[in-house]
Every structure is written in C-alpha cells, then in structure tokens.
C-alpha cells in the first residue's frame, strides 16, 4: 500500500521567491490530520504561515475571511465536498488561489477542477516537496502579476486589439465584439501570453513554464485551458483558426491581419 507522504523532512529548505505582502498565509484543507500536518510542516519550512481545516464547512468559513493567499484543497471532505467549496468561493468572487490535492485522480476530476479555475491539481500519493514547489510557483506567478499591475498604475494603458478581441493588459480585461469575456485567471494569463507572442510556436512545456511558472505541472493543465479558451474565443472551437495546434510541436496564436497595439 502506498503512503501519500514522503518523510516529513525538508533539509535546507529556503524561500525561492520574494512575497508581495509579507509571509504568505496558506489554508490547508484535508480530512486526514496526518496529511494536513505534514503539508503544513513542509510549507512552514519554506517560510509560509499555515492554517488547517478538516472539513468543507470550516474551509469555507476561513477562506471567506480573505486572509489567505492560497488554499491546498482536498476534494473528499466531510459536510461539504471540495468541489462544492471551490464552486461557492468562485461564485462569491473570493480571491484565493487553489491547488487541489486529492486521491481522486481520474481525468474527469482533474479536468473539472481545472475548469473551475484551479491553479494546479496533484493526486495522492504525492511528494510534499513537489507540492511545495507547485505552491511556490502559483505564488510566484501571482506576485509577478501584482507587481506588473502596480507598475502599470498611472501609466498609459496597454491595449491589444486582435480581430474582435481586445485585451487591456493594464487592467487584465478582455472583450470579444465589445462584450466582456469572463475568463479564469489562468485562462487570461494563457491568452495574454499567446496574443502578445503572435506567430510563435510554444510547446506545452514552454507554456507551463511561462504561464504557470513551473515545469512540474501536469501537461493536461495546458490542454484543458487551451480547450476552454477555444470555447470562448473561436467561432468554431472544433476547427480553431486563432489558437491553433501545430502538430507535434505545440500551439500558436494566429494574429488578425489588422491587429493593433496601443
């Protein structure tokens, strides 16, 4: 029988990045107290402040406080399951990054979690060291986005108009045919990266590194987000003409001939 854990020791662990608002506060949600404890130990070892919750109801209560940068979320929880916790937080526009950690490793579960807007998805048994790296990757990306937004405050807006799509890179807003387009944070990150690098082919490895800030993620994460973007931006998602597949290599953004940059 596999254990879900490595030995709870992280020798020489150090912070790999600066944090934008002091020590990151992380909410670890799992009904197994041993798993919670080990995850908390590893995250604390790299300088994070950790709060634990053992059920979905408590997780919702804590997440709604707005105090936490990121939540490590199990799916099989007492009272309220993890996916329902996630749905409620998204419906209430609670600003918290989510890394799902679950024994439910079926592709349908991973895809559903990613479609709801999860930043990453790990299955049990798992390596706590890998979990730490993925959490740091999500926080690093968030830090970089916040820093970029701060630098852009008060400056001229950066706008890309590509066909019927308009991306305001200063406010992170997207419109399609003048109507606001609802995207998850990762969908926006991926779209913005591709649109600002037109005619370039990127492998899934390159997109994982550029958009998710890590090479440790599951490649299905990129595939799911590409499919979701196509459903929102392509006239016919089954026959994409903008976010196209370059077989054997990756994906490329096909710019509109009258593309404009402001």
β-pair type (250-253, 243-246): antiparallel
Contact status, residue 128 vs residue 39, Cβ threshold 8 Å: yes
pLDDT value for 214: 65
Give percent of the chain above pLDDT 70.
Answer: 80
Residue 224 within any structural domain of the chain: yes
SS3 label, residue 109: helix
E-strand stretches of 153-205: 159-162, 165-168, 173-176, 179-180, 201-202
Left, alpha or beta for 249 (phi > 0: left; psi -120 to 50: alpha)? alpha
pLDDT value for 155: 47
110 vs 222: CA distance, rounded Å: 12
User: What does the pLDDT average to over 17-21?
Assistant: 52
Average pLDDT, the chain: 82
Residue 131 within any structural domain of the chain: yes
DSSP state of 253: E
Claim to verify: residue 173 and residue 115 sit in the same structural domain: no
5 vs 191: CA distance, rounded Å: 35
Residue 135 within any structural domain of the chain: yes
Give the count of domains, the chain.
2
Claim to verify: residue 170 and residue 136 sit in the same structural domain: no
User: What does the pLDDT average to over 120-137?
Assistant: 87
* CATH number of the domain to which 135 belongs: 3.40.50.2300
Neighbours of 6 (CB within 10 A): 16
Residue 7 within any structural domain of the chain: no
167 vs 196: CA distance, rounded Å: 10
Residue 18 has pLDDT above 80, yes or no: no
206 vs 212: CA distance, rounded Å: 10
Residue 10 has pLDDT above 90, yes or no: no
Q: Give the range among 63-77, 121-135, 155-169, 196-210 with minimum mean pLDDT.
A: 155-169
pLDDT value for 154: 47
User: What does the pLDDT average to over 26-44?
Assistant: 95
Closest C-alpha among 17, 255, 6 to residue 136: 17
Residue 163 within any structural domain of the chain: yes
Range of the structural domain that residue 43 is part of:
25-149
For 70-113, the pLDDT digits (tens) are 999 999 999 999 989 988 998 888 888 899 988 876 667 777 77
**Residue 209, both tokens:** 């590194």
Claim to verify: residue 136 and residue 195 sit in the same structural domain: no
Residue 15 within any structural domain of the chain: no
Question: Looking at the whole model, is its pTM more than 0.95?
Answer: no
For 212-257, the pLDDT digits (tens) are 776 555 677 888 889 989 999 999 999 999 999 999 999 999 998 8
User: What does the pLDDT average to over 163-168?
Assistant: 90
pLDDT value for 193: 92
Dihedral pair phi/psi, residue 154, rounded to 5°:
80, 0
User: What does the pLDDT average to over 12-41?
Assistant: 78
């Amino acid at each position: 029988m596999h254990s879900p854990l490595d030995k709870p020791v992280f020798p020489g662990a150090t912070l790999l990045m600066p944090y934008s608002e002091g020590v990151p506060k992380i909410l670890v949600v799992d009904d197994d107290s041993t798993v919670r404890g080990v995850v908390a130990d590893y995250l604390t070892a790299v300088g994070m402040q950790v709060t634990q919750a053992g059920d979905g109801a408590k997780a919702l209560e804590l997440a709604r406080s707005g105090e936490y940068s990121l939540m490590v979320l199990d799916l099989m929880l007492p009272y309220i399951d993890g996916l329902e916790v996630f749905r409620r937080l998204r419906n209430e526009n609670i600003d918290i990054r989510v890394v799902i950690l679950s024994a439910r490793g079926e592709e349908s579960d991973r895809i559903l979690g990613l479609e709801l807007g999860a930043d990453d998805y790990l299955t049990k048994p798992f390596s706590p060291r890998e979990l730490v790296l993925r959490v740091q990757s999500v926080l690093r990306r968030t830090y970089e986005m916040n820093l970029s937004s701060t630098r852009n405050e008060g400056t001229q807006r950066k706008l890309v108009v590509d066909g019927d799509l308009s991306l305001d890179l200063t406010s992170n807003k997207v419109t399609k045919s003048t109507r606001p387009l609802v995207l998850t944070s990762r969908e926006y990150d991926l779209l913005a990266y591709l649109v600002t690098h037109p005619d370039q082919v990127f492998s899934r490895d390159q997109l994982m590194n550029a958009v998710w800030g890590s090479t440790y993620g599951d490649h299905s994460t990129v595939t799911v987000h590409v499919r979701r973007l196509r459903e929102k931006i392509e006239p016919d998602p089954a026959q994409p003409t903008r976010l196209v597949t370059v077989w054997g290599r990756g994906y490329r953004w096909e710019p509109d001939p009258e593309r404009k940059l402001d």
